[in-house]
A = this chain, B = another copy of it.
Amino acid sequence: MTYFLSRRVLAPTLVLGASALLTFTPVRGQQTPVVAGSVPEFGTMWTFDAPPLDYWQSRYGFRPDQAWLDHLRLSAVRLPGCSASFVSPDGLIMTNHHCSRSCIAQVSPPETNYLRTGFTAATADDELKCEGMYADQLVSIEDVTSRIRGQITADTPAEQVAQRDAAIESVRSACEQASGMRCQVVPLYNGGMYSLYTYRRFDDLRLVMAPELETAYFGGDSDNFTYPRYDVDVSFLRAYENGQPVHPADYLAWSEAGAKDGETVFVVGNPGSTGRLLTLAQMVYLRDVDYPARLASYDARMKILQKLSAESPENARRYETTILGISNSQKATQGYLSGLLDPKIMTRKAHFEQDFRSRIDADPTLKAKYGGTWDAIADAQLELSTFATQARYYALNGSTLLGYAIDIVRVARQAALPEGERLPGFQGNGLDRMRRQILRDRPLDEELERMQLASWLASAQKDLGPDDALVKALLGGRTPEAAAEEIVQTSHLKDVAERKQLVEGGEDIDTCGDPLIVAVRDLEPTANSYVKRAAQLNDVISANVAKLGEAIYAAYGKALPPDATFTLRISDGVVKGFPMNGTVAPYKTTFYGLYARSADFDDASPFQLTERWKLAESKVDMKTPMNFVSTADIIGGNSGSPVVNEAGEVVGLVFDGNIEMLPNRFIFTDEVSRCVSVHSMAIMEALRKVYDAGRIADEVEGRNR
């Protein structure tokens, strides 16, 4: 493979593709319509301290006051990996079923699995504590940019990174000491700005209601990331303090009608990570180096697991979850990659970058400070790409045994070095963590190990060539299959006692005769050189993307929302169907559709209905809206976010995006990408008519007040 990553060929050849290039129009001097236009390409994940009031006013004719914003912020809570909200004065919290999944499994008594049966607490006494789960409510935001940046005085990127980390930690711990609350320093715009977020934590959460997994995740992995959809992906928890339900001052009211076609809606939640400030060079690296390598690796693993699964029903069961996980990652990565391969998206990105650079270049001071950042990043990415293939294989992580070998050799060698000279990961507690990892006693799946190693060796041989030291050392003239067979048969690293000998017992790795240790100890210096070189380059990139974050203010002011950071944001959008597959996808689905999709597949998994839903068919209103789509800007971490209308009432519950949304990771577009939510009416209908949970429905709708 050849990578064309040099910044000299970037602009004309690589980024846009030949055909898009023909229509490329420089926007120099022209104001890029970042916010005034209909679709802000940086998206709409606004922070609560910079709500785009003018933009909302012009786009929706809606200008909320501070009380409206404060109320939404305080009604929202963050769960581990998810979002949620208070929906009653008695501390009831609504989130997705998939955000409570581990709690639901955990609170199931031995004889029942609530994931299979669903769960409804008939009374408050029946609510079951989720151990280890907590909810954080964002009580204040403070700009601490100058406090952090004042501490960064060093010249080298590596030192700057260390100073920054120390400053962040010091601000955070000072805040926790002073407030007695949870504090977090959030680097926004790649560190162009730092905000101090203070949270009130609720750490006694109890399970109140959850439907069956089959209902919450109807359509399973097939329908995941897609729409039309038919999932009741909801669960209810309750926050307790001192054994009593919490009575939050702020909680969301429930909308009677729920989401309507064309309605303006807001999503309040914690989007995890986006890459909208990435430079073209970074995107090209992902497109040409990173994602293809990931996809190749998923593909290789998938082939092995599918082959093994076909061998026996036991194997099929054993690998099912792993296969689903990989298939999920494939789907997501393929979706991200498709965005990067889309000339329209890359052209928009190129336009923006051109405009951004020309604004910086137009001011001599800004140019001196920031003008070099894009090229510095592009050069570092380019250099990374020159040894990306080598670095990937020299990570020596192609199989479990190979991983043990390199870790064991490194633990021995790195321990002998002074702290400052060690590799990242072997500093501080790193060495001990590594030792524990090596000594975890897990049985080796020998068949899987053999196939993985053989597949990895075959790839290495193909990608590195037959004369590479790694290939020679591990193959030793054998075929990948024969080498894998022999290594798995003869290596003692399968045995935890043997690994203990090497890590703790004093057996010298330099005299150890284990075939893997012998091969790997000669490769380790080269492997380390790749790790170090990559770390240096990544420090350069990291320091320069932080500069870009600063530059973006200089060029555009505060009009652009920062990349997602798994902190609270408010995104706006419109309830709206979209063109799909030659026709139109409706703005909402209905219960009819649930029964339809199940019947379409003859009630086979993952489209089978639970008994409860089969019995409920005659009771529910089949026209009840089930799921709906909106143009709100979301990403992983937004799961469980409430969707509210202009009155601040709940009209839905975010649980996914459609497949067309995946490229939004890099540039926000809303032609076909959609946020997928459970409709509020589906939740009420299900609570009352399917789950015998009128108590909870009444509480949510305020009928008990």
Contacts and interface: CB of A to CB of B under 8 A. Distances in A.
Interface of A: 18, 219, 222-226, 228, 261, 331, 335, 580-584, 586, 588-590, 592-593, 595-597, 599-602, 622-623, 658-659
B595 A600 contact: no
A582 B622 contact: no
A600 B586 contact: yes
A582 B228 contact: no
Given A18-B18, A622-B595, A590 B583 contact: no
Given A592-B595, A600-B593, A582 B623 contact: no
B589 A226 contact: no
Contacts of A590: 596, 599-600
Nearest to A230: B596
Contact of A586 (B588, B589, B601, B658): B601
Contacts of A592: 592-593, 595-596, 599
A582 B226 contact: yes
Dominant secondary structure of chain A at its interface with chain B: mixed
Given A580-B581, A581-B581, A586 B597 contact: yes
Contacts of A586: 597, 600-601
Stoichiometry (number of copies): 2
A62 B225 CA distance: 40
A291 to B, nearest CB: 15
Chain B CB within 10 A, most for which of A581, A590, A597: A581
Contacts of A228: 600
A473 B588 CA distance: 55
Contacts of A622: 595, 599
A656 to B, nearest CB: 11
30 contacts: A18-B18, A222-B584, A223-B583, A224-B583, A225-B582, A226-B581, A226-B582, A228-B600, A331-B582, A335-B582, A581-B581, A581-B659, A582-B659, A586-B597, A586-B600, A586-B601, A588-B600, A589-B600, A590-B600, A592-B592, A592-B593, A592-B599, A593-B596, A593-B597, A593-B599, A595-B596, A595-B622, A596-B596, A599-B622, A599-B623
Contacts of A589: 596, 600
Chain B CB within 10 A, most for which of A224, A225, A596, A602: A596
Contacts of A595: 592, 596, 622
Nearest to A601: B586
A296 to B, nearest CB: 15
A596 B625 CA distance: 10
Contacts of A584: 222
Contacts of A583: 219, 222-224, 226, 659
A400 to B, nearest CB: 32
Contacts of A219: 583
A331 B228 CA distance: 22
